[in-house]
Amino acid sequence: MTATATLPDATFFIALNAGSGHDETDERRRVIESVLRNAGRLFSLTIIDQPDSIDAIAAQLAREAAAAGGVLVAAGGDGTINAVARQAIAHGCAFGVLPQGTFNYFGRTHGIPEDLAEAVHALLAAHMHPVQVGMVNERVFLVNASIGLYPKLLEERELDKKQFGRSRLVAALSALKTVLSPHRRLRLDLQIDGKPQRLRTATFFVGNNRLQMEQIGIAPLSAALEDGQLAAMAPRTKGKLGMLWLLLYGALGKMGSLDQADQLTTFSFKQMQVKVRTLSRRRRIKVATDGEVTLMNMPLTFSVMEEQLLLMKPINVPA
């Protein structure tokens, strides 16, 4: 994927997530406003202080950005980026990112600085690149989607972060608590690009992020993400200690070599349908997309979206 355009005079319509607290949010707002005003760039900044308002606010900002030929910008973690990106795709406007999360997989993959002032400067000089978007049923994902133990881990992690703060250590300890608690293995019926397959696993993970695939040790699948495909991973291990070791890599964002035949089933695909036989009496299942957990109807259909996200990507970063 190559750069398509620069937008040197476009107005930025910024959605800033206030999830980290008012003092930190005020400081982030000051940094963003200072850099943009010094650069003479027009912008509109809206603070999202209620989680249930993010979709409505992002949709309104997307309409304004599309009408003005501007750029819709998400300032927050991967969940915020996902929510705002959905509206950028729906309204066909360019999309910018100011990453402020714990892991920032999406921003880091595309060379966007984690330091806020540096990220704003990078946005000012960015080029527009088309970026692949994954879908599960009607919901998009930029980083990953999963069912089983991983959504449970994310829910517990959010509760623990609210109590103990946002850090990778808290994420790791929360993962330890979740994995050591009772959990059931899923029995899955898959249709992978039209071919049937069955799996038993505690968690089923679909990735759309090259950096995350490389960091959890599945580098060969990262090439598939550059070729219009998604990457799937299902741990085979039955023991809690083995599962703990696998999930801690994801919780810590740590380099590893997990692509071993006795530990994981991995494959790439363009379209896949998933039915969970262990939940045959229930029509809905919890699905995590970019760190946000929602209930979805079964069967689940995973695919690459035809539309691409028009991401404003820093210069001198490979496409």
Structure tokens at 97: 């990112």
Tens of pLDDT along the chain (319 residues) come to 455 677 888 999 999 998 756 788 999 999 999 999 999 999 999 999 988 899 999 999 999 999 999 999 999 998 899 999 999 999 999 999 999 987 788 999 999 999 999 999 999 999 999 999 999 999 999 999 999 887 887 777 767 667 777 666 666 666 666 666 656 788 999 999 999 999 998 889 999 998 888 776 666 677 788 789 999 988 875 555 555 555 555 444 443 444 444 577 889 999 999 999 866 566 899 999 998 999 999 999 999 999 999 999 998 755 5
3-state secondary structure of 182: coil
Beta-strand ranges (E) seen in the chain are 5-6, 12-17, 43-48, 71-76, 94-99, 127-131, 134-136, 139-141, 144-148, 186-192, 195-201, 203-207, 230-235, 264-269, 271-276, 284-289, 292-297, 300-304, 309-313
User: Is 154:143 a contact under the CB 8 Å cutoff?
Assistant: no
Residues 6+ apart with CB under 8 A from 22: none
Which DSSP symbol is given to 4?
-
Q: What is the pTM assigned to this prediction?
A: 0.85
The structural domains of the chain, ordered by start, are 5-132+308-313 (3.40.50.10330), 144-289 (2.60.200)
Burial class (CB in 10 A: 0-12, 13-18, 19+), 62: buried
**Which of 63, 60, 102, 64 has the alpha carbon at shortest distance from 80?**
102
